[in-house]
């Protein structure tokens, strides 16, 4: 018996002509994603002057720079929690609707229009003479218009307008993935609405909610255009992406810029890993009611 040819042996391990089709796409990702990332990491430890860690020292010793981490988290974490807290009950209601299409189409609008358009609209809408303030004054909730643009709340509002639909649509796809028979079984056994939610749905939803939280957090954490246009980019809404952009493209110090970009990625990764780590403490298993 002769040994099979190299071609046959490779094919048995899943390597043949079809597998090679992955190469062009892989090459693009290696060239445009991995290489710049490694380059950036190396670039960040080759500062204009000083020892290799000079950029990181420069960032963490200047309050104007290191406070951007806190101000970014101070925006991104509350916004993500608020968006998710509203998304879950509304998704539970919408799940019962037969015609969800119109609602989901309306909600997908701000996501596709993007943060720049929303920021432009909010500048008019939330302005001192905008409809939002006028309505609140008209119904007597306010005596005088409040300032909602060019500060923290402007950026907060823009992150809710684009972030809530995102969190909602993701949550909805997880909620509708749970077999309704499970809820019916719980109701048959005498569980009321609150018990059905806390004892049945919530444990099933935790993995999905953790992923939704991470994806929504990544979006909010990367806030950039609305923090400049709607916020106070020199003050409380000087987020870390503004710091990275300014270092790289306004002070032309790409070494410091990439260092801040790496810090930004690391902070985000810590939060994401913390959330996913907490998830593993909960139930993991099928959400379908049928076998298999």
Partner 1 sequence: MIRDQGLVSKIWRYAVWAVAGLFILNLVGVIAAVVVNSFATRWLGTWLPIGLTTKWYFSAWKEFQLSSVVFVTFQIVFTVVLISGVLGVTAAYALARRDFPGKRLVVLLFLLPLLIPPLTYGIPLATVLYQLGLGGSFWGVVLINLVPSLPFVVLVMIPFIEQIDPRIEAAARVFGAGTGSLFLRILLPLLLPGMLAALLLVLVRTIAMFELTFLIAGPTSQTLVVSLYYAVFASGVRAGQSIDAMAVIYMVTTLFWLILALQFVNPSQIVARAKQQPAS
| In the complex, minimum distance from the CB of residue 124 to partner 1, in angstroms, rounded to a whole number | 4
| In the complex, minimum distance from the CB of residue 148 to partner 1, in angstroms, rounded to a whole number | 12
| In the complex, minimum distance from the CB of residue 36 to partner 1, in angstroms, rounded to a whole number | 4
d(CA 153, CA 150): 8
> Containing H/E element for 154?
helix 152-175
E-assigned strands of 211-270?
Answer: none
| In the complex, minimum distance from the CB of residue 206 to partner 1, in angstroms, rounded to a whole number | 16
| In the complex, minimum distance from the CB of residue 177 to partner 1, in angstroms, rounded to a whole number | 5
E-assigned strands of the chain?
Answer: none
Q: In the complex with partner 1, which residue's Cβ is closer, 2 or 32? A: 32
| In the complex, minimum distance from the CB of residue 265 to partner 1, in angstroms, rounded to a whole number | 4
Q: In the complex with partner 1, which residue's Cβ is closer, 50 or 177? A: 177
| In the complex, minimum distance from the CB of residue 149 to partner 1, in angstroms, rounded to a whole number | 11
| In the complex, minimum distance from the CB of residue 1 to partner 1, in angstroms, rounded to a whole number | 26
Q: In the complex with partner 1, which residue's Cβ is closer, 1 or 200? A: 200
Q: In the complex with partner 1, which residue's Cβ is closer, 40 or 236? A: 40
d(CA 45, CA 66): 18
Interior CA angle at 67 toward 62 and 73, to 5°? 155
Q: In the complex with partner 1, which residue's Cβ is closer, 24 or 63? A: 24
Q: In the complex with partner 1, which residue's Cβ is closer, 2 or 99? A: 99
Q: In the complex with partner 1, which residue's Cβ is closer, 107 or 152? A: 107
DSSP, residue by residue, 102-122: HHHHHHHHHHHHHHHHHHHHH
Q: Which long-range contacts (CB under 8 A, 24 or more apart) does 258-265 make?
A: 258/40, 258/41, 258/43, 258/44, 259/44, 259/45, 259/47, 259/55, 259/56, 259/59, 260/59, 260/65, 261/40, 261/44, 262/40, 262/41, 262/44, 263/56, 263/59, 263/69, 264/72, 264/221, 264/240
Nearest to 246 by CA among 231, 265, 233, 236: 233
Q: In the complex with partner 1, which residue's Cβ is closer, 183 or 282? A: 183
Question: Do residues 71 and 237 touch, judged by C-beta distance below 8 A?
Answer: yes
């Amino acid at each position: 018996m002769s040994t099979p040819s190299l071609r046959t042996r490779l094919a048995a391990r899943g390597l043949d002509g079809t597998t090679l089709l992955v190469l062009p796409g892989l090459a693009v990702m290696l060239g445009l994603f991995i290489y710049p990332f490694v380059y950036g990491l190396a670039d960040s430890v080759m500062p204009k002057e000083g020892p290799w860690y000079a950029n990181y020292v420069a960032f963490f010793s200047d309050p104007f720079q290191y406070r951007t981490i806190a101000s970014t988290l101070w925006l991104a974490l509350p916004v993500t929690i608020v968006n998710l807290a509203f998304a879950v009950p509304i998704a539970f209601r919408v799940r019962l609707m037969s015609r969800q299409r119109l609602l989901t189409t309306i909600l997908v609008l701000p996501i596709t229009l993007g943060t720049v358009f929303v920021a432009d609209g909010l500048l008019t809408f939330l302005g001192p003479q905008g409809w939002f303030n006028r309505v609140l004054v008209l119904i007597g909730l306010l005596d005088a218009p409040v300032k909602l643009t060019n500060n923290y709340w402007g950026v907060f509002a823009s992150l809710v307008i684009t972030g809530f639909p995102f969190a909602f649509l993701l949550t909805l796809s997880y909620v509708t993935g749970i077999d309704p028979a499970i809820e019916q079984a719980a109701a048959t056994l005498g569980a009321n609405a609150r018990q059905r939610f806390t004892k049945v749905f919530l444990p099933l939803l935790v993995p999905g909610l953790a992923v939704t939280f991470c994806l929504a957090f990544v979006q909010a954490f990367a806030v950039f255009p609305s923090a400049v246009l709607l916020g106070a980019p020199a003050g409380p809404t000087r987020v870390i992406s503004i710091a990275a952009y300014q270092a790289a493209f306004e002070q032309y110090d790409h070494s410091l810029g990439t260092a801040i970009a790496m810090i930004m990625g690391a902070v985000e990764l810590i939060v994401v890993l913390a959330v996913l780590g907490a998830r593993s403490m909960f139930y993991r298993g099928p959400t379908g009611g049928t076998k298999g």
